[in-house]
């Protein structure tokens, strides 16, 4: 079989490793250092029994992978799904390592997974599974504010993080910093405002920044700016629904949406709120008045649009459909939605791919803010809000005196309001995504990579992690 006819790898771990090796080939680092950066440091496989509500006993398989200890703690979400396996968890842990490095978040990468069909279990059963999983992580020193800090992922959320922190607090001796053992918690339990929508908001910030570069947009046949761009979003989970909302609010037009039951299309634009309300009432996005139904989710990928946002699962864009993609920008909101071979096809067709390893960094960025908040025991905005508000009021009075008019109390209130926690979180996330995109684009131009931001992203991660090891004197 010729190399051209060889089947492309379908394992997410193989895809991640391929992307790493392509970037590593552009460096002069020793092979031993590159191997240390690439390989997963450790995987803990767990098997434990739990009692179901009917009294029967079931065996659960779970994993926790720590990909890199070049910085501590390690960071990565916990997913609950039937398809979870060791390869997937290891791949996602690697992506988290690279993601943190790219946006300068001081964590090593990790990931956790429990192989269960979430919909088949009651809340009480899920609580027992979650608490046992947390206990197993504690026993093996895989969780703690300075060791490993999990977060929500597919199939988990604030509820599961609350169970984990409660379990951890009941057995740890370090009560003072115990809230920092996980992120993505409910706000009253030490969570941070803005964490739930952080990944979707980061997608919008990254997209907006890419679209603001007139030179790059001209190169792919688009005008500068996100406003007016036709967008298709595949996947309306936490990330996809928030990404859709934020790009809409930024002036883009949602012309297609897809979920597991199918997809819908409207050239004039879809009302996102109406679609979500319809799905809540009927259990499906199909049948929304004014929209055309498509029977399969994957058909949405081939719709005519300017920006395609795959926000579902991995391996959605492959060699089978890459040539049919009509979008000029593919914004990867999911982990690994584009295979390595498909990525090369898109590049050859002059499509700008914003890679998952950059675009999906909003969640871990805001998780870092939450971790810092838990360790400092001070809510963001608490110290500076009133001071800034008073400073703004004095400035407005000065402007009013210069203009010869007084601002109304309502105008003063609107313009002088000091930042609260969510304002600070969003501002920090925006700055992080803007700065990282600028770094990646500059690195890509210097390396002669053109529009290949995936290779530039991996190259950036390799450089930053390598410097950590060199500073430690491990690899001179």
Catalytic residues: 111
Nearest to 115 by CA among 135, 85, 136: 85
CA–CA distance, 328 with 306 (Å, rounded to integer) = 5
Angle, to 10 degrees, between the axis of helix 198-211 and the axis of helix 362-376? 130
- How distant, in Å, are the alpha carbons of 83, 214, 412 from that of 209? 35, 10, 31
Dihedral of alpha carbons 270, 271, 274, 277, sign: positive
Q: What is the 3-state secondary structure (H, E, C) of the chain?
A: CCHHHCCCCCCHHHHHHHHHHHHHCCCCCCHHHHHHHHCCCEEEEEEEEEECCCCCEEEEEEEEEECCCCCCCEEEEEEECCCCCHHHHHHHHHHHHHHHHHCCCCCEEEEEEECCCHHHCCHHHHHHHHHHHHHHHHHCCCCECCCEEEEECCCCCHHHHHHHHHHHHHHCCCCCCHHHHCCCCCHHHCCCCCCCCHHHHHHHHHHHHHHCCHHHHHHCCCCCCCCCCEEEEECCCHHHHHHHHHHHHCCCEEEEEEECCEEEECCCCCCHHHHHHHHHHHCCCCCCCCCEEECCHHHHHHCCCCEEEECCCCCCECCCCHHHCCCCEEECCCCCCECHHHHHHHHHCCCEEECHHHHCCHHHHHHHHHHHHHHHCCCCCCCCHHHHHHHHHHHHHHHHHHHCCCCCHHHHHHHHCCCCHHHHHHHHHHHHHHHHHHHHHHHHHHCCCCCCHHHHHHHHHHHHHHHHHHHCCCCC
The answer to whether the bond into 73 is cis (omega within 30° of 0) is yes
Residue 248 half-sphere exposure toward CB, CA atoms < 13 A: 17
């Amino acid at each position: 079989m010729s190399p051209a006819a060889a089947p492309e790898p379908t394992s997410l771990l193989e895809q991640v490793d391929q992307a790493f090796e392509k970037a590593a080939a552009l460096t002069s680092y020793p092979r031993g250092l590159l191997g240390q950066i690439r390989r997963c440091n450790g995987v803990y496989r767990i098997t434990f029994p739990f009692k179901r509500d009917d009294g029967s006993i079931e065996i659960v398989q779970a994993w926790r992978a720590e990909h890199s200890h070049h910085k501590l703690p390690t960071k990565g979400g916990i997913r609950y799904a039937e398809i979870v396996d060791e390869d997937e968890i290891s791949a996602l842990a690697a992506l988290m390592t690279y993601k943190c490095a790219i946006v300068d978040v001081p964590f090593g990468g990790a990931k956790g997974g429990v192989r269960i069909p979430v919909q088949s279990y009651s809340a009480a059963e899920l609580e027992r599974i979650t608490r046992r999983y947390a206990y197993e992580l504690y026993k093996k020193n895989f969780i703690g504010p300075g060791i490993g800090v999990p977060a929500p992922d597919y199939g988990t959320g604030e509820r599961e993080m609350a169970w984990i922190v409660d379990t951890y607090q009941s057995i740890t001796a370090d009560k003072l910093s115990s809230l920092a053992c996980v992120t993505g918690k409910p706000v009253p339990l030490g969570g941070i405002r803005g964490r739930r929508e952080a990944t979707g908001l980061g997608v919008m910030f990254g997209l907006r920044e890419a679209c603001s570069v007139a030179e790059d947009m001209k190169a792919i046949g688009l005008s500068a700016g996100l406003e007016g761009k036709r967008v298709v979003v595949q996947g309306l989970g936490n990330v996809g629904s928030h990404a859709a909302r934020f790009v809409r609010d930024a002036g883009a037009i949602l012309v297609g949406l897809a979920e597991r039951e199918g997809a819908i299309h409207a050239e004039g634009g879809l009302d996102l709120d109406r679609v979500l309300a319809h799905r809540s009432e009927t259990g499906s996005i199909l049948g929304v008045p004014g929209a055309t139904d498509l029977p399969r989710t994957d058909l949405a990928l081939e719709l005519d649009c300017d920006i395609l946002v795959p926000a579902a699962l991995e391996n959605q864009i492959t060699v089978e459909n890459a040539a049919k993609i009509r979008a000029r920008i593919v914004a990867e909101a999911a982990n690994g939605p584009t295979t390595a071979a498909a990525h090369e096809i898109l590049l050859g067709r002059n499509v700008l791919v914003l890679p998952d390893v950059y675009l999906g960094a909003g969640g871990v960025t805001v998780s870092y803010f939450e971790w810092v908040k838990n360790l400092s025991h001070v809510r963001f905005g608490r110290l500076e809000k009133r001071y800034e508000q008073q400073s703004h009021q004095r400035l407005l009075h000065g402007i009013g005196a210069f203009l010869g008019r007084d601002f109304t109390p309502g105008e003063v209130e609107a313009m002088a309001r000091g930042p609260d926690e969510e304002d600070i979180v969003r501002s920090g996330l925006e700055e992080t995504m803007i700065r990282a995109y600028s770094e990646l684009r500059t690195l890509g131009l210097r390396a002669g990579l053109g529009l290949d931001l995936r290779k530039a992203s991996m190259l950036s991660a390799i450089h930053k992690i390598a410097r950590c090891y060199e500073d430690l004197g491990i690899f001179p």
